[in-house]
Amino acid sequence: MDRRSLLRKLVMTPLLSPAALMLAQEGGVRPAHHGENGFINTDPGFAEAGFDEMAPWIAGKLTDVFSKAPKADIPREVNDGSALREQRPYTVTWIGHSTVLVQMEGRTILTDPVWSTKVGPFKWAGSPRVSEPGLAIENLPPVDIVLISHNHYDHLDEASIEELADRNPNAAFFVPLRVRDWFEDKGIRNVEEYDWWEGGSHKGLKIVCTPAQHFSGRWINDRNQSLWCSWVVTGKKRLYFGGDSGYCSHFANIGKRFGPFDLTLIPIGAYEPRKLMSPVHMNPAEAVQTHLDLRGRTMVGIHWGTFVLTDEPMEEPPKKLAEAAEAKGLNKGECTVMKLGETREW
Ligand code: ZN
Ligand code: ZN
């Protein structure tokens, strides 16, 4: 896109969703998370870390961006995708980070698909990948639905999206508000864009965009100009996919409206240092509480073991998750992690 059309887009694209715009025109109330200069977090307890606190930490992290990935021992299982081609009613496969393949009632759903070896604004500088994807992109079964939680590079990866769209011309991409343009610029038109609590039906499944407490941005000039979210998919069974989020009151609301969930996919990594991360990334203990708030039955911890993003050791999140689940007196299998490439039924 040239500079003029980019500028025009920045100026002309309405911040409000069509539904919210209509509401505004009718004299209705603007949704609380639609701020004057971008989207905002609405939980009363939300307090973002200040620039003065954040800047030194970011400066310290810059060396990671240019370096090779450190070694990390993340358990994995060989998966060539052949078993996934025989659709079974309910399977879940962890590919890495927040990329999960879910088969559900004859449909194949992929969440935040990222296969790149570095995630960041440039191919040569970004958070390095420490573990190979558990399933090669060319070994995926045909994909029907792709869910995108927000536009951060470790969730919205250009190379992966373009390859997926090429291989799956009929796949529908579900995105939060103001992420559609990014797809359209790449010629991808099968995109459904929703605000929180909005959704649509797709081949028998109901898909709803639900809140999260986070932020967005891919460059210095677009902070919070697109929305962040989680997703609920309901058919005969119910699935919750959590994008990045701090722990907050949204989860109890989602649980009330759409729970109980048969399977919850909840982030358990990128939580240290707590002082800076807690508003926007939950820790494993909060992930267990989120699962309980959602009224989940089985939880798989995601968003760990893949990219170097924050200060906790790469292998730590599953240990902390097991401790937190035990402290809550939950059954052993209720809150777990999977091996890369592992498939389970749910
Ligand atoms: Zn994020
Ligand atoms: Zn993330």
Could you write out the three-class secondary structure of 110-165? EECCCCCCEEEEECCEEEEECCCCCCCHHHCCCCCEEECCCCCCCCCCHHHHHHHH
Cβ-contact 211, 229 below 8 angstroms = yes
Which ligand minimizes its atom distance to the CA of 268?
2
Phi, psi of 126 (to 5 degrees): 180, 175
**DSSP reduced 3-state for 229:** coil
Counting ligands in written order, the one closest to the CA of 280 is: 1
**What is the CA(345)–ligand 2 centre distance, in A?**
25
Query: Which residues are registered as beta bridge partners of 119?
Result: 127
Ligand 1 center to residue 27 CA distance, Å? 33
Rounded to two decimals, what is the model's pTM?
0.91
Nearest ligand to residue 112 Cα: 2
- Tell me the CA–centroid distance for residue 154 and ligand 1, in Å: 7
- What is the CA(106)–ligand 1 centre distance, in A? 30
Question: Domains in the chain, start-ordered, CATH in brackets?
Answer: 1-31 (no CATH), 51-345 (3.60.15.10)
Ligand located closest to 152 CA:
1
Selection from 342, 321, 305, 302 nearest residue 99 by Cα = 302
Tens of pLDDT, residue by residue over 245-294, are 999 999 999 999 999 999 999 999 999 999 899 999 999 999 999 999 99
Q: Measure 332 CA to ligand 1 centroid, in angstroms.
A: 29
DSSP 218: S
Report the 10 Å Cβ neighbour count for 329: 6
Residue 148 in contact with residue 173, Cβ under 8 Å? yes
Average pLDDT over residues 30-51: 90
Which whole number is the average pLDDT over 43-52?
84
306 CA from centroid of ligand 1 (Å):
14
80-99 residue pLDDT tens: 999 999 878 899 999 999 99
Q: What is the pLDDT of residue 14?
A: 43
